C-alpha cells in the first residue's frame, strides 16, 4: 500500500506505517450487501475470482464508512423535517421537503460508492482515480485505488493505492 497526496505543485508518495495498516484493518461492518453477483460471464468477471457477493467488492473500512453515511442521511432527514416544521405551514410540506433533501443526500452517498470500493483503478496518464463503474461491467482488478471522501476542492487530493 502507498499513500499519495496532492500538494500545490506535485504529488507525494509515502510508505504507510504499521499504524496505517492496523487502522485499515481494524474495523468490521455491522451490515453489508450480501446479495450474490449475477453469474453473467459477459459482464461480471469478479465471480471467476471468488468475489461472488456484492460485499466482496468493498473493504471492511469502506463498508463501515458507506454504512455510516447512509445512517447520517436518515438522521439528516429527521433534522431537516424538524427544522422545516418550524417555518413551513403544514406537516406534509415539511415531510416532502425532508424527503427531497434526503434523496439528494442519498444520491451523494450513492456516488461515493463508485470511488470507495475495491474495484477502482489508478490511471497513470493523467494520474488519477478511475471510478469503478465507468462501463456496464464489473471487472476484476488485482490492485485498486481508493479516494479520500474528505478531500476538498474539485479534485481528489488524497488517494491510497492498495495491493491485494
Q: Which residues have C-beta within 8 Å of that of residue 154, sequence separation ≥ 6?
A: none
User: Residue 163's closest CA among 65, 12, 24?
Assistant: 24
- Quick: pLDDT tens for 55-70: 999 989 899 999 999 9
Q: What is the pTM of this model?
A: 0.76
Contact (Cβ atoms closer than 8 angstroms) between residue 120 and residue 147 = yes
Q: Which residues have C-beta within 8 Å of that of residue 157, sequence separation ≥ 6?
A: 5, 6, 148, 151
Spans in the chain with pLDDT lower than 50 = 153-164
| Phi, psi dihedral angles at 42 (to 5 degrees) | -75, -30
Amino acid at each position: 500500500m502507498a499513500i499519495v497526496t496532492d500538494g500545490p505543485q506535485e504529488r507525494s508518495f509515502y510508505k504507510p506505517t504499521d499504524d496505517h495498516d492496523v487502522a485499515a484493518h481494524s474495523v468490521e461492518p455491522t451490515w453489508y450487501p450480501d446479495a450474490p453477483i449475477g453469474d453473467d460471464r459477459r459482464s461480471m468477471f469478479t465471480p471467476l475470482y471468488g468475489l461472488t457477493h456484492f460485499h466482496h467488492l468493498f473493504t471492511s473500512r469502506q463498508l463501515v464508512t458507506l454504512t455510516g453515511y447512509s445512517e447520517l442521511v436518515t438522521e439528516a432527514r429527521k433534522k431537516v423535517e424538524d427544522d422545516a416544521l418550524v417555518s413551513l405551514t403544514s406537516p406534509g410540506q415539511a415531510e416532502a421537503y425532508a424527503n427531497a433533501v434526503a434523496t439528494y443526500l442519498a444520491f451523494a452517498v450513492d456516488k461515493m460508492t463508485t470511488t470507495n470500493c475495491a474495484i477502482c483503478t489508478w490511471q497513470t496518464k493523467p494520474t488519477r482515480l478511475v471510478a469503478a463503474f465507468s462501463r456496464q461491467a464489473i471487472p476484476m482488478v488485482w490492485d485498486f485505488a481508493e479516494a479520500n471522501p474528505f478531500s476538498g476542492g474539485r479534485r481528489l487530493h488524497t488517494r491510497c493505492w492498495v495491493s491485494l
